[in-house]
């Protein structure tokens, strides 16, 4: 059996959508459709119900989940064993938050590819919840999150901290001031979607203020949230590196925040799966990157 079919099956089971699966796997949607039909034909069972809202696993599809994960894990072990006597080689998928994907990791991965040309690294934007699912299913070998604790059954290693900055536009009424929580709790905020650790923590703190009335808008994209803040619509809390250009140009101004000025960076993996030498090499590079203050070794 072509294990690529199983990889596509697991992706579709997680996304529930052919278009999203095609985007995640960098395939045409028609290719995803053909692969799922091929797998269903080989197994002699319908794995998904095609519904108006997306693709939903059938009972047979749910039974296939764990065996498919186990088979892909076994395949990875075979590849590791075959290359055990040489330099690290193989594919490693690293799931990471949007800000880390955009601002921390490109230079590091470029350097690692030069040093370890036999390792193919795939970078996959994913929040904490999606990163955990990717690790559980074997779709990713490592995940970087800005969070306080790993998901159940996962092991997390603290690498460092990501500085956070509360910002507003220069014309905002709080610009140049040191706001109190009672003032902040009546402002408009543009935050990342629920599940983002530092956004959820700030929202919880704002709502805990007596007579709080914050207006919280959640986005799935840092770019959308920071654009609203730069446009003068409200306040936002972001990793400093993700808004450095707007701070330097004066389009955003930093505000003192009474607390929550950094988020922990965790390197997470699934301890049930044996890491390959390639995965070890990538994890070592990530540790070195944060040990040197985020500079590329």
Q: What is the pLDDT of residues 247-296, one digit of tens each?
A: 999 999 999 987 768 899 999 999 888 888 899 999 999 999 888 765 44
pLDDT at 80 over 80: no
Question: Which of the two residues, 270 and 152, has the higher pLDDT score?
Answer: 270
pTM of this prediction?
Answer: 0.69
Q: What percent of the chain has pLDDT over 70?
A: 95
The full DSSP string for 233-289 is S-BEEEEHHHHHHHHHHTSSEEE--SS--EEEEEEEE-TTSPPPHHHHHHHHHHHHH
* Rounded (to 5) percent helix, strand, coil in the chain: 45, 25, 30
Nearest to 125 by CA among 113, 117, 134, 116: 134
pLDDT of residue 128: 84
Q: Tokens in use for 228?
A: 């609203």
pLDDT at 84 over 60: no
pLDDT of residue 194: 80
pLDDT at 149 over 70: yes
pLDDT at 159 over 90: yes
pLDDT at 22 over 70: yes
pLDDT at 82 over 70: no
CA–CA distance, 171 with 19 (Å, rounded to integer): 41
pLDDT of residue 78: 74
Pairing mode of beta strands 119-125, 155-168: unpaired
The full DSSP string for 168-223 is E-TTSTTTTS---HHHHTTSEEEEEPTT-HHHHHHHHHHHTSTT---EEEEES-HH
pLDDT band at 208 (very low <50, low <70, confident <90, very high): very high
Mean pLDDT of 19-29: 88
Please write the tens of the pLDDT for every residue from 169-202: 999 999 999 999 999 999 999 999 888 889 999 9
Strands (E), 116-172: 119-125, 142-146, 155-168
240-249 and 222-230 helices, crossing angle to 10°? 30
**Whether 209 contacts 185, CB under 8 Å:** yes
pLDDT of residue 295: 46
Question: Which of the two residues, 137 and 156, has the higher pLDDT score?
Answer: 156
Mean pLDDT of 69-84: 73
C-alpha distance from residue 76 to each of 130, 132, 170, 284 (Å): 21, 19, 52, 19
CA–CA distance, 204 with 207 (Å, rounded to integer): 5
pLDDT of residue 83: 57
pLDDT of residue 296: 41
Q: Is 97 helix (H, G, I), strand (E, B) or coil?
A: coil
Q: Tokens in use for 267?
A: 């390197």
Pairing mode of beta strands 215-219, 188-192: parallel
pLDDT band at 79 (very low <50, low <70, confident <90, very high): low
Q: Which domains are seen in the chain, by residue range?
A: 1-82 (1.10.10.10), 161-263 (3.40.190.10)
pLDDT of residue 164: 94
Mean pLDDT of 199-219: 93
Mean pLDDT over the full length of the chain? 89
Question: Which of the two residues, 270 and 80, has the higher pLDDT score?
Answer: 270
Mean pLDDT of 194-217: 91
């Amino acid at each position: 059996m072509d294990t690529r079919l199983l990889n596509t099956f697991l992706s579709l089971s997680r996304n529930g959508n052919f278009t999203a699966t095609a985007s995640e796997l960098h395939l045409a949607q028609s290719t995803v459709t053909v692969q799922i039909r091929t797998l269903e034909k080989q197994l002699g069972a319908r794995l998904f119900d095609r519904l108006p809202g997306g693709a939903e696993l059938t009972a047979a599809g749910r039974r296939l989940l764990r065996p498919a994960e186990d088979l892909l894990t076994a395949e990875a072990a075979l590849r590791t064993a075959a290359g055990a006597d040489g330099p690290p080689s193989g594919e490693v998928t690293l799931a990471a938050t949007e800000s880390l994907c955009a601002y921390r990791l490109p230079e590091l991965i470029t350097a690692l590819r030069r040093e370890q040309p036999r390792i193919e690294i795939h970078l996959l934007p994913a929040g904490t919840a999606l990163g955990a699912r990717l690790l559980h299913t074997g779709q990713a070998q490592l995940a970087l999150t800005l969070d306080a604790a790993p998901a159940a059954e996962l092991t997390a290693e603290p690498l460092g901290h990501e500085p956070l900055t509360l910002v507003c536009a220069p014309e905002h009424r709080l610009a140049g001031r040191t706001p109190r929580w009672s003032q902040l709790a009546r402002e408009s905020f543009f935050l990342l979607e629920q599940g983002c650790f530092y956004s959820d923590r700030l929202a919880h703190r704002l709502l805990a203020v007596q007579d709080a009335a914050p207006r919280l808008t959640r986005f799935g994209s840092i770019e959308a949230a920071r654009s609203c803040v730069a446009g003068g619509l409200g306040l936002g809390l972001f990793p400093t590196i993700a808004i450095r250009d707007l701070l330097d140009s004066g389009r955003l101004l930093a505000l003192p925040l009474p607390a929550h000025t950094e988020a922990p960076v965790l390197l997470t993996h699934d301890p049930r799966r044996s890491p390959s030498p390639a995965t070890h090499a990538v994890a070592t590079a990530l540790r070195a990157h944060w040990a040197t203050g985020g500079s590329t070794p």
